[in-house]
Structure 1
Amino acid sequence: MTEVTGTEANARIKDLVEDIDFTMLTTIDADGNLVGRPMSTRQMDENGDIWFFTSDHTKKVDEVEADHDVALSYLDAKGMRFVSVAGTARVVHDQAKMQELYTPSLDIWFEDGLDTPGIALLRVTPVEAEFWEPAQGKIVMAAKMVKSLVTHDTPDDTMSHGRLSD
């Protein structure tokens, strides 16, 4: 496995988070159960914070306010690209940031756009983040895996891995 570190890993995580778009946001409910739901990423900013739109009147907001620890799981199955983020979440009511990030595609969930009562942002600040993706592209990875089936060797350099660093 090819290891990527430092600013290269941080930049790659940002690219993947913004490119994959949908993630599973996992929170902890009042009974201590892990609860996941899909969310559409709006941005990973220059500070590394990941931004989503939400409504104040949701269970996820109640869960985040009770326990700020969350996880994000990004998956691009066709591209064999994965990102895992452990972080802390906060509900944010910043009108300027909402105007910056809002797009008409969000009208599906927010009927009155930015005037929708209870509209808010969810900011996830990563504590740890990792990614995995093909080191040399999907075709090369597939060829190495087929070769491994024939030779019974383990393909150890098919994936690239990186970890968020401070």
Structure 2
Amino acid sequence: MKSLKLLMFFWFLIFGLACKETPVGENEDIQEKTSINSDTDVQNAALEIIANAYYCSLITVDEHGVARSRIMEPFPPEENWEVWMATNPKSRKVEQIETNNQVTLHYFDKNNLGYVSLMGKAYLVHDNSKKEKYWKDEWKAFYANRTDAYLLIKFVPEWMEVISVKHGLNGDVVTWEPASSGVE
């Protein structure tokens, strides 16, 4: 019982210090330091996080307005930030993209405590030359018929948000809003 009281005392002490109000003027200096990252810094950190994450979540919106997330194995971003992925043309995500092509790709790098959210538009691509270009032999078990059972998703990002402890992109100290960058 004594150790529980001691534990509670320290928990309240730590919680109280964490919730301590920042003196006026100090907060602005902290905010300024976290918001001076250039688009290049943000984008370079994003590329590293994406490479380390390997997989991403593709988030679409269904017919009821509910966000739907699934793990994808995308190709690395192209120089223009386009991301290519493969899917079964009969999957729910295809219908959801046809209805609303505004989607998000979310990558998480657990080893370096960072994430990237890419917001943009997805396009369904049936082109056979693109299917040849964006193919992995490990996928043979999933796509027996590469002509009809294999569809590409081309994702074109418009905006990104990045949190990266490793790169000092920790977000706004008040709102927690991540560092962000337009994608051109």
- In the alignment of these two chains, the number of paired residues is 144
Q: How far, CA to CA, are the matches of 2:65 and 2:134 in structure 1? A: 32
- The runs of at least 4 consecutive aligned structure 1 residues that moved more than 6 Å come to none
Cα contact 1:7–1:165 (8 A) shared by 2: no
Cross-structure match for 1:88 = 121
Q: How far, CA to CA, are the matches of 2:138 and 2:99 in structure 1? A: 30
Q: Which amino acid aligns with 2:87?
A: T
Cross-structure match for 1:142 = none
Q: Which amino acid aligns with 2:110?
A: A
- Deviation of 1:136 after TM superposition, in Å, equals 5.8
Aligned with 1:128 (options 117, 136, 159): 159
Residue 30, structure 1, aligned to residue 32, structure 2: no
Residue 97 of structure 1 aligns to a residue whose secondary structure is helix
Q: How far, CA to CA, are the matches of 1:99 and 1:19 in structure 2? A: 25
Q: Which structure has the higher relative contact order (CA within 8 Å, separation 6+)?
A: 1
Q: How far, CA to CA, are the matches of 1:161 and 1:67 in structure 2? A: 26
Residue 52 of structure 1 aligns to a residue whose secondary structure is strand
Q: How far, CA to CA, are the matches of 1:14 and 1:5 in structure 2? A: 14
Q: How far, CA to CA, are the matches of 1:32 and 1:16 in structure 2? A: 29
1:35-70, Cα deviation, whole Å (9 max, x unpaired):
111111113112211110112111000000000111
Q: Which amino acid aligns with 1:120?
A: L
Cross-structure match for 1:149 = none
Cross-structure match for 1:13 = 46
Cross-structure match for 2:131 = 98
- Deviation of 1:161 after TM superposition, in Å, equals 4.3
Name the stretch that deviates more: 103-112 or 21-30.
103-112
RMSD of Structure 2 on Structure 1 (CA): 2.5
- Deviation of 1:165 after TM superposition, in Å, equals 4.2
- Deviation of 1:25 after TM superposition, in Å, equals 0.9
**Scaled by the length of structure 1, what TM-score is found?**
0.74
Cross-structure match for 1:163 = 181
Q: Larger radius of gyration, structure 1 or 2?
A: 2
Cα 1:162–1:67 shift into 2, 3 Å: closer
Aligned with 2:79 (options 46, 53, 63): 46
Cross-structure match for 2:19 = none
- Deviation of 1:29 after TM superposition, in Å, equals 0.5
Cα contact 2:158–2:183 (8 A) shared by 1: no
Cross-structure match for 1:152 = none
Higher strand share: 1
Residue 43 of structure 1 aligns to a residue whose secondary structure is coil
What residue ranges of structure 1 are gaps of 5+ in the alignment?
A: 138-154
